[in-house]
Structure 1
């Protein structure tokens, strides 16, 4: 099957030159652009045909490639032809750069070549570029007649240049596949369940479907997904893997897994994408693109830099990108994206696929069956995706922005006028809500007026910011502009899964578009590849995750048993403790006694988890007052990387004294940390971890009550239980780890929660008193001697 190359992809790669200019040409949605295209196309003559698919098979590097694309419009008569290319943007036509125009005309010239190739009776074609400036509702049209021989020469030059890069990629893939053929599993043997999981992943790739995998801690999820996926890649079942994660720590695990296979002879290109704000060089901060040496002439230096890095590197991490970017004086973030086009494995954050604002357009504008997705710790995607598709704006910053604008020496009158219009719209919203005698209003109505105002403001700001020098004032205006721009973008997705919440708090008016169910959007994103593996240590109940993550009708569930001996952990449920809000004060002494009983039975390191910082401090204060001899450490709400490392470094092997860490469920220490051996011998979890009652969680509850009658479970119980399972999973990290899991809430013993216990918790025990707890823990540790 011939590989398809899009016309835009071909033209942009070969013809791009000059500076990297990140200023967005348009703040309009793809939907709006499509609407403008259709409107203009309907205005054409009866002979005009819209969206005409053109293609040609071209041999390059001893293989056939299909060069294809859709012309916006073609008008044919017996002896003439016209092809129209429509472009939409906010920039004035006369302000477009020479290279932008070269790319526009390049695309339509390829369409012209393909059309004449299909019609040998024609010697020439009229090419028309129609440019629509959205913010001014202005159309500019330019026409030029091209002869057959000129288009033939133009097309052949494109192919000659592109063929070098095709050969480079083809040679790399040939080397890759040869290295994969005899690639061994990078460990002496498979762990329990690991071979089965790898086989399931491989079969899923062959079937081009999706698989939800619950693989308990210790299964070796990363290598169990990457190894079979790379084996399938070696057989050309897929060509590119995206390893998507929520945390930097899991990105490092993926890098290490590929390095392990590389030590055994694997030769492929992998790259880890780093967020723009983290990888940009310090000297680029607050510098306009036309004065940034790493952006000036970027495309003129890009191809030599690509040749350099691809010839010398295989594992392309942040430090590698930074080295070659400095060497060739090009922007490291954009360089990493351009390099990724030639890589086999791309390790990156969820948002590069799923976020509608920052997804990788070079990969995800249309379906590509060569792509496959490995989505790690996928339980995090539930809340992350709601954040991606929700947005909040308020008028809180407008007074200070108006004051700053008035203080400028000149050129802010129009800006002040625009800000006042935005403020008036918020005032109108306030008046509407106050008529209803409310200060918190939830509605299914679309916030149309605010969207229109925000859209006009964003259009104004796009032009206003272009000529401004860096300053604090510009930064403040840009931040507010981005809020408005995001509001408009998300508005394009508004459907019956959304609610609008308006909150009046003094002078502040907030409007939030809340997406309650992102399953459709996630499903559409995953359809851009041939399939996906969605995996985590905690995906129970599986049907819940399939539902909320867009896999009800197009995925298979797969659950693995724990690879570790069940007798290595003692799971105890206290039936004598209630942690409901109104019972907390009365149960505090029993909680403190139970925690101390656990920590006093064996010298070592323990983690105690709580549903909130307030509750954590309440119990910690009481614990320290009653047991001042026990060393404690506390998670704080604003810990940077250094503070996190210092916290974990205190959990040493073979400690001389007991250490108790007080932490928050769902926080930075409840997943993604690895305290192996006796660095951790006990985990206590206080409460069932329900998220706090809130208007937005209640909206999720009400939505799913209407969808399936399980609103409380979907909004509160299941997210809370996932936090519990993640925290408990910190304990047993290897086959030799041993310890106690203590669940301090009588609700854990109810059938509603027992049904959610993973299979390796089947041996849990109920304890009815502190003395009963003491005896059980004594017996457990005696049995480990």
Structure 2
């Protein structure tokens, strides 16, 4: 099978030179660009054909390469052949750099060459470049004609220049595939469920489907997905694998898993992408691109840097990128993106695929069947994706910005004031209308069009204005507000029936929110950019809910694995005598404190108590410590950096001499992604069913799903809360030797509404009617575990 190389990728790699000029403040989203393309294409003559796929196989170094792409428009008649390339941007046509124009023409010249391979009756072709300036809706058209010989010479020069990189890619690919064919599973045997999961992943790749997998803690999800996917890659079923995660810790696990296979002979290029604000060198901060030594001349140094890195490194972590970026004086973030084009496995955050504002344009501007997605801890994507497609804007910064502008005493600042006041006028109108109707909170199905129009015009002005200003605190402040309005306008472009607009008055402040209640269609469109995907987590119950909210198609597959650990190693206890609804919290507090003490009194060890909010945590913790002051406690704080988190977890020692209780929040940093194996943790208590707090916005989600499927409460409250519960409970049993007690302190857990959501390895749960029964049950469990341990020692 020929290796696919995109025409744009080929042209940009060979012809790009000079400085790295980041796309400054562009409002030109992919959605808007596609709309403009369609608009222009529809205005063309009837014999004009849009989105024409052109390709040519090139054989080099014993390997076939498919050079391919889509021409925006082709018009062929008896007299001539015309190819049109449409480009959209915010810049004026006269301000486009020479190198950018060279890239534009280079792309359409390749299309011209490929067309003449098919249209043999023509000796030349007319190339038309149509440039559309988004901010003014002005189209500029330029034309050039080229002969067959001229285009053939140009194409061959590209291939000759790219030959080294083609050979390098071919050599890397052959080395990769040879190593994969001999690659063993990196453990002596498969755990329970691992072989089945690996098989399901492999079949999904072969069938080009989507697979949702619930694989309980201990299954070994990372190796069970990466190993079969890499095996499929070695058979040329896919060319590029994206491992998408929500947390840095899971990205490290993916890196370590690839490194483990590398020790068994795997030769694969694996890169981890780090967010721009984290990986940029300190000396780059606050520098304009034209002043940044890592950006000036970037493309002149890029190819030597790439060659050096690819010849010497396989597992390309942040530290590796930084090392070579410093050595060759290239910006580390952009260098990592350029390096990723040569990598087989790309480990990155969800937003690189799903976020409409920051997705990887190098890979995700069009569908590519060579891409495949592994999406880890996918339950996190539900709330993350709503945030990605929602936006908030406020008039709060305007007053201070106008004051700062007045203090500048310059014409530029006066111009800025004039434009910003137009935005303020719309906010004032919104406020006046709300006050006339005696409202402080309004929900609407309608897009905030007046505000979007005003912000869009303000953004048009700011795009040019900021480029003319010198660095200053005032410019920084205006830029921050510009990005807020820019985001709001971009998200407004997605507004459809899944959105609501919420306007809130808080004194003089007007807050306008574009709320995406159901991003499933947007997620589905992102997933269609590859041949398939595996979306997996330890908690994906009920499966149909996650398939619905995460863009699962009707034909997507579902697979649920059993826990690999003995169910008798954990006691699941549901207290029927405790109510934690808000109205009952004060009355139930003594019983909760006593029940928590019963849990820890039976055996010295480490425990975690999880609460639905910091307020409830503090309430119960205060009562607990007042009654049992001698028990050592540690508490999750509202904002904890990496050092604080590590210090918290390091207090959970093996074989402790005294009991330690950690007070934590459901859905927080300690309710998932932490691994306290062995007897570093022997008990987890979960207080309440974890419902998200009642709010107007959660109620909007409830109303939306009530209307669409009649399950509004479940989708907005119950199921997100239950996922937090299952994640927190999953901290307890992390290996086949772990034992402990899970205590569910809320009588609602005993109702069918919740027991139907219990995973299979909770099937032995017990309903506990009283505090006395709780104490005796916990004591019985630990006595059984001690007896079992003694028997095992005797047998051995």
TM-score (norm 1): 0.98
d(CA) in 1 for partners of 2:564, 2:665: 27
For 1:445, the equivalent position in structure 2 comes to: 446
1:47 deviation in Å?
Answer: 5.5
For 2:634, the equivalent position in structure 1 comes to: 633
d(CA) in 2 for partners of 1:11, 1:197: 41
1:124-139 alignment runs, 5 A limit: 124-139=124-139
1:638 deviation in Å?
Answer: 0.8
Q: Residue 580 and residue 405 in structure 1: after superposition, are their counterparts in 2 closer, same or farther (change >3 A)?
A: same
The Cα offsets for residues 8-55 of structure 1, whole Å up to 9 and x where unpaired, read as 122111111111011337312333333433444455456644444433
Is the partner of 2:634 in helix, strand or coil?
A: strand
1:178 and 2:178 are equivalent in the alignment:
yes
Is the partner of 1:188 in helix, strand or coil?
A: coil
d(CA) in 1 for partners of 2:518, 2:452: 21
Question: Structure 1: which 5+ residue stretches go unaligned?
Answer: none
Is the partner of 2:559 in helix, strand or coil?
A: strand
1:75 deviation in Å?
Answer: 4.2
Q: Residue 741 and residue 53 in structure 1: after superposition, are their counterparts in 2 closer, same or farther (change >3 A)?
A: closer
Report the count of equivalent residues: 785
Is the partner of 1:719 in helix, strand or coil?
A: helix
1:562 and 2:563 are equivalent in the alignment:
yes
d(CA) in 1 for partners of 2:281, 2:172: 30
1:395 and 2:395 are equivalent in the alignment:
yes
For 2:163, the equivalent position in structure 1 comes to: 163
1:579 deviation in Å?
Answer: 0.2
1:500-519 alignment runs, 5 A limit: 500-519=501-520
Is the partner of 2:496 in helix, strand or coil?
A: coil
The Cα offsets for residues 285-337 of structure 1, whole Å up to 9 and x where unpaired, read as 00000010000011111111111100000000000000000000000000001
Tell which deviates more after alignment, 670-679 or 545-554.
545-554
d(CA) in 1 for partners of 2:623, 2:467: 58
For 1:368, the equivalent position in structure 2 comes to: 368
Q: Contact 1:217–1:729 (CA<8 Å) still a contact in 2?
A: yes
d(CA) in 1 for partners of 2:728, 2:520: 26
Q: Residue 35 and residue 190 in structure 1: after superposition, are their counterparts in 2 closer, same or farther (change >3 A)?
A: closer
Is the partner of 2:363 in helix, strand or coil?
A: helix
Q: Residue 163 and residue 189 in structure 1: after superposition, are their counterparts in 2 closer, same or farther (change >3 A)?
A: same
For 2:104, the equivalent position in structure 1 comes to: 104
Q: Contact 1:373–1:533 (CA<8 Å) still a contact in 2?
A: yes
1:86 deviation in Å?
Answer: 2.3
1:585-604 alignment runs, 5 A limit: 585-604=586-605
Tell which deviates more after alignment, 30-39 or 202-211.
30-39
1:250 deviation in Å?
Answer: 0.4
1:527 deviation in Å?
Answer: 1.0
Q: Contact 1:681–1:738 (CA<8 Å) still a contact in 2?
A: yes
Q: Residue 279 and residue 424 in structure 1: after superposition, are their counterparts in 2 closer, same or farther (change >3 A)?
A: same
Tell which deviates more after alignment, 27-36 or 85-94.
27-36
d(CA) in 2 for partners of 1:131, 1:644: 51
Is the partner of 2:758 in helix, strand or coil?
A: coil
Q: Residue 246 and residue 38 in structure 1: after superposition, are their counterparts in 2 closer, same or farther (change >3 A)?
A: closer
TM-score (norm 2): 0.96
Q: Residue 566 and residue 51 in structure 1: after superposition, are their counterparts in 2 closer, same or farther (change >3 A)?
A: closer
1:262-341 alignment runs, 5 A limit: 262-341=262-341
Q: Contact 2:244–2:347 (CA<8 Å) still a contact in 1?
A: yes
1:536-615 alignment runs, 5 A limit: 536-615=537-616
For 1:216, the equivalent position in structure 2 comes to: 216
Tell which deviates more after alignment, 43-52 or 358-367.
43-52
Q: Contact 1:677–1:734 (CA<8 Å) still a contact in 2?
A: yes
Q: Contact 2:84–2:128 (CA<8 Å) still a contact in 1?
A: yes
For 1:355, the equivalent position in structure 2 comes to: 355
For 1:700, the equivalent position in structure 2 comes to: 701
d(CA) in 2 for partners of 1:565, 1:54: 57
d(CA) in 2 for partners of 1:664, 1:589: 20
For 2:460, the equivalent position in structure 1 comes to: 459
For 1:527, the equivalent position in structure 2 comes to: 528
d(CA) in 2 for partners of 1:50, 1:243: 34
RMSD of aligned alpha carbons? 1.5
Q: Contact 1:288–1:469 (CA<8 Å) still a contact in 2?
A: no
1:85-96 alignment runs, 5 A limit: 85-96=85-96
d(CA) in 2 for partners of 1:173, 1:71: 29
Q: Contact 1:246–1:377 (CA<8 Å) still a contact in 2?
A: yes
1:129 deviation in Å?
Answer: 2.2
Is the partner of 2:396 in helix, strand or coil?
A: coil
Q: Residue 5 and residue 715 in structure 1: after superposition, are their counterparts in 2 closer, same or farther (change >3 A)?
A: same
Is the partner of 1:446 in helix, strand or coil?
A: coil
Is the partner of 2:362 in helix, strand or coil?
A: helix
Q: Contact 2:63–2:170 (CA<8 Å) still a contact in 1?
A: no
Q: Contact 1:25–1:91 (CA<8 Å) still a contact in 2?
A: no
d(CA) in 2 for partners of 1:52, 1:769: 72
The Cα offsets for residues 242-298 of structure 1, whole Å up to 9 and x where unpaired, read as 110000000111111111111111110100000000000000000000010000011
1:68 deviation in Å?
Answer: 2.8
d(CA) in 2 for partners of 1:552, 1:11: 36
